[in-house]
Amino acid sequence: MPTSFPRIAAAVALTIIASTIPSVHAAAQDDPEELPFPEGWQVRFDREGASMDDLYLVTMPPGYHVTTGPAMIAWHPDSVATGDFRIESETFLFDPQGRREAFGFFIGGTDLQGPDQRYTYFLVREGGEFLVKTRSGAETAEVQGWTAHPAIVAFATRPEDAHTAKNVFALEAAGDELRFSVNGESLWTGPRAGLATDGIFGLRVNHGLNLHITSIASTPVR
């Protein structure tokens, strides 16, 4: 991998994570290049022809570390949620250096490596705003435009002693309704009809971001 933003940012992040998340301390002793790409995961960049050399995505317990590079989605093919389910993800944002790029997760993924890719995604960005959007092939459409909400922790509003901005995202699909929340507070509720909801779920990260995702998982809603 060439010396680039992803590699430099990851090296800095290793030191910070080791001091804030004790169980990642052992991983932080390794050369960042030696940490493994998540087994079985796949990636698709927004920009055709983008290179994996510009993405740093590794398994770094607890969870995964990612620095971009081009905007992309990443997923494991076995990460499938259908019916009534809850997706939850804990994410730590490192200094975005003034960028207001978005990050979060997607659900309902189908044909993710093909021309008819389809998914619904839920994002936040610096400044404490969230977005709900869909993709179908090359087309995207807003379900909920950028909207401010005080529950979202921005890097600029993180606790005084914190190196990162921590947010816990959750999406519940129950019956005909979707509910998106951050840090336990509801941000958006909307109808399920017309949106891609059943299928693969995974990460969505726009360009030039440095994140640690301790978890992204689904559980059934009963």
- Whichever domain contains 78, its CATH number is 2.60.120.560
* pLDDT at residue 47 greater than cutoff 70: yes
Return the pLDDT at 210: 95
Average pLDDT value for residue range 101-121:
98
Structural contact between residues 95 and 155, judged by C-beta atoms closer than 8 angstroms: yes
Reported confidence tier of residue 34, pLDDT bands at 50, 70, 90? confident
Q: Where are the beta strands (DSSP E) in the chain?
A: 42-45, 55-59, 64-68, 72-81, 85-93, 102-110, 118-125, 129-136, 139-148, 165-174, 177-182, 185-191, 199-205, 210-220
Return the pLDDT at 108: 98
* 13 against 40, higher pLDDT: 40
% of the chain exceeding 90 in pLDDT: 84
Reported confidence tier of residue 29, pLDDT bands at 50, 70, 90? very low
pLDDT tens digits for 48-105? Answer: 999 999 999 999 999 999 999 999 999 999 999 999 999 999 999 999 999 999 999 9
Return the pLDDT at 183: 98
Prediction pTM value: 0.88
What is the full DSSP assignment across 96-157?
-TT---EEEEEEEEESTTSTT-EEEEEEEETTTEEEEEEEETTEEEEEEEEEE-TTS--GGG
pLDDT tens digits for 148-173? Answer: 999 999 999 999 999 999 999 999 99
**CA separation, residue 99 to residues 37, 52, 92, 102, 155 (Å):** 26, 22, 16, 9, 11
Average pLDDT value for residue range 102-127:
98
* pLDDT at residue 112 greater than cutoff 90: yes
Q: CA-to-CA distance for 202 and 46, rounded, in angstroms?
A: 15
Total domains in the fold of the chain: 1
Reported confidence tier of residue 26, pLDDT bands at 50, 70, 90? very low
Judged by DSSP in three states, 24 sits in helix
The token duo for 126 is 């610096």
The token duo for 104 is 């979060």
* pLDDT at residue 217 greater than cutoff 50: yes
Average pLDDT value for residue range 174-195:
97
Return the pLDDT at 20: 53
Range of the domain at 82: 5-220
The average confidence (pLDDT) of the chain is 89
Cα 161–chain centre separation: 24
Return the pLDDT at 222: 81
